[in-house]
Copies of this chain bind each other. A is one copy, B any other.
């Protein structure tokens, strides 16, 4: 298998698109802006889902399922939400097709027009809060901690596989609380859960922070986020968690009787991550040879390729490999022994490199003679020879080492791509020549933020949670500022 992959340094965007295709992760479908997630890509997503779902349940959340469709009128109930979400969306207007009278095929039946149009959910706050009104009566019903795994649709004009598609898969948590403090604590907790997941499973370091007012979720009082840095110096928002105040409770009239018997509006959060994480995963670790996967999310962690002449030698190798496969499986390591006789070892090496399998074992005559395996790492592309009786322990350790190495490598890249600047000239130079996060003072106004974005395409990615108080002056207006924020061009 020849890889023929464009180099990142030549054209990062082209490299990404080719990689997603060649590594069998996803492809465009016949439907504008909607992707097909191929089995190998979906297997990675399933591993992400399993890890996240476990973390959600450990923090007390339950899954449920709400309708795909939302009546148009629901969107009008929360004023800022409608502006943010009820615009570019898929609208269902009819519920029946019929055969055209001229025999030309099927047409929409004009008699089957819906009284009220239905919107394919772009996010589910409205339909869920319409439901919560029935579920919440008393303080005893709180907190209500619910998550949903679902598909959502936001009509996008310019789409890119995983990063921006009209339909995407995600999870959306929607919680209801008796107090403001509890809701804020929940929103913060979920930001932490996302950060832990990104770092421990995806090996992607992230900066935890707050969005500025203009970058907040439509309907939120505060948006917490995790921001990652891609290899091309562009930032990627990897997850958001919103403190919604009482906005949705008021819009949908959700109140509870407090212990003191008073009727109070409920406090809300929502939080989500999507198949966009696949884009972050790919762009953080992969190289010019293809995908690089952290072991914890790799569908195949170890591949074994036999190097043989003739069926007899393959049989000998298979005999040698069988107990190794069993031993690895018993340790919960996913392993594939690729015995296909339709492809040469070189083809297979390329294929698994392209698909990012963390560890590759090869075994040929010399290994049989010496009782060894050749062990290759995908992250460093290095090889070593390991004695058979040590190979299981070696691999177990190696998977942990690779997971950690990927994280450390990405962390180093990220940390060297946070550049403090104090003037607007410096700001522009760093943005254009180095990229990455630019740490700068800002006067706190929407106007300045917009001017900088218009001029440089860099937005404020976040106000980091652990930001230090520091007196300074806004890079654009020179007005006083008490802390630095992170700017970047972003996906």
User: Which of A28-36, A285-293, A316-324 contacts the other chain?
Assistant: A28-36
A43 pairs with B68, CB closer than 8 A = no
A69 pairs with B34, CB closer than 8 A = yes
Distance from A168 Cβ to chain B, minimum over Cβ atoms (Å): 10
Q: Which of A74, A90, A131 has the most CB of B within 10 A?
A: A90
A416 close to chain B: CB less than 8 A: no
Tell whether A68 pairs with B167 under 8 Å between CB atoms, given A82-B106, A97-B86: yes
Residue numbers in B under 8 Å from A97 (CB-CB): 72, 75, 86-87, 89, 91, 119
Query: What residue in chain B is nearest A128 (Cβ atoms)?
Result: B36
A108 close to chain B: CB less than 8 A: yes
Residue numbers in B under 8 Å from A140 (CB-CB): 342
Query: What residue in chain B is nearest A45 (Cβ atoms)?
Result: B65
B43 pairs with A127, CB closer than 8 A = no
Distance from A153 Cβ to chain B, minimum over Cβ atoms (Å): 7
Contact of A90 among B45, B75, B105, B118 (CB under 8 A): B118
B96 pairs with A87, CB closer than 8 A = yes
B119 pairs with A72, CB closer than 8 A = no
A31 pairs with B127, CB closer than 8 A = yes
Complex copy number for this chain: 2
A127 pairs with B29, CB closer than 8 A = yes
Distance from A28 Cβ to chain B, minimum over Cβ atoms (Å): 10
A36 pairs with B91, CB closer than 8 A = no
Contact of A131 among B36, B73, B119, B150 (CB under 8 A): B36
Query: What residue in chain B is nearest A148 (Cβ atoms)?
Result: B42
The proximity string for A residues 161-188 relative to B, scoring 1 for CB distances below 8 Å and 0 otherwise, is 0000001010000000000000000000
A241-273 CB contacts (< 8 Å) to partner B: none
Q: In the complex the two chains form, what is the Cα distance from A146 to B37 in whole Å?
A: 12
Distance from A251 Cβ to chain B, minimum over Cβ atoms (Å): 14
Contact of A96 among B65, B155, B169, B342 (CB under 8 A): B155
Q: Which of A42, A43, A97, A169 has the most CB of B within 10 A?
A: A97
B90 pairs with A64, CB closer than 8 A = no
Residue numbers in B under 8 Å from A64 (CB-CB): 36-39, 42
A46 close to chain B: CB less than 8 A: yes
The proximity string for A residues 71-99 relative to B, scoring 1 for CB distances below 8 Å and 0 otherwise, is 11111100000100011111111111110
Contact of A95 among B73, B75, B88, B105 (CB under 8 A): B88
Q: In the complex the two chains form, what is the Cα distance from A36 to B66 in whole Å?
A: 5
Q: In the complex the two chains form, what is the Cα distance from A66 to B26 in whole Å?
A: 10
Residue numbers in B under 8 Å from A45 (CB-CB): 65
B117 pairs with A69, CB closer than 8 A = no
A1-54 CB contacts (< 8 Å) to partner B: 27, 29-31, 34-39, 42-43, 45-46
Tell whether A94 pairs with B96 under 8 Å between CB atoms, given A31-B71, A64-B42: no
Q: In the complex the two chains form, what is the Cα distance from A69 to B63 in whole Å?
A: 25
A130 pairs with B89, CB closer than 8 A = no
Contact of A88 among B82, B88, B96, B106 (CB under 8 A): B96
Residue numbers in B under 8 Å from A39 (CB-CB): 62-64, 146
Tell whether A91 pairs with B95 under 8 Å between CB atoms, given A36-B66, A46-B63: yes
Q: In the complex the two chains form, what is the Cα distance from A27 to B64 in whole Å?
A: 12
Query: What residue in chain B is nearest A41 (Cβ atoms)?
Result: B64
Distance from A172 Cβ to chain B, minimum over Cβ atoms (Å): 14
Tell whether A86 pairs with B67 under 8 Å between CB atoms, given A95-B91, A146-B39: no
Q: In the complex the two chains form, what is the Cα distance from A66 to B169 in whole Å?
A: 11
A120 close to chain B: CB less than 8 A: yes
Q: In the complex the two chains form, what is the Cα distance from A108 to B89 in whole Å?
A: 10
Residue numbers in B under 8 Å from A73 (CB-CB): 105
* Residue contacts A-B, CB under 8 angstroms, 15 given: A30-B74, A30-B130, A31-B67, A36-B66, A38-B64, A39-B62, A76-B105, A87-B96, A91-B92, A91-B93, A91-B95, A92-B93, A93-B108, A95-B155, A151-B151
Interface residues of A (CB under 8 A from B): 27, 29-31, 34-39, 42-43, 45-46, 62-76, 82, 86-98, 105-106, 108, 117-120, 127, 130-131, 134, 140, 146, 150-151, 153, 155, 167, 169, 342
Q: A31-B69, A42-B62 are in contact. List 12 more A-B contacts (CB 8 A).
A: A29-B127, A29-B130, A29-B131, A31-B71, A34-B67, A43-B63, A68-B153, A73-B105, A75-B97, A90-B92, A90-B95, A96-B155
5 closest Cβ pairs, A-B complex: A34-B67, A39-B62, A37-B65, A91-B94, A95-B155
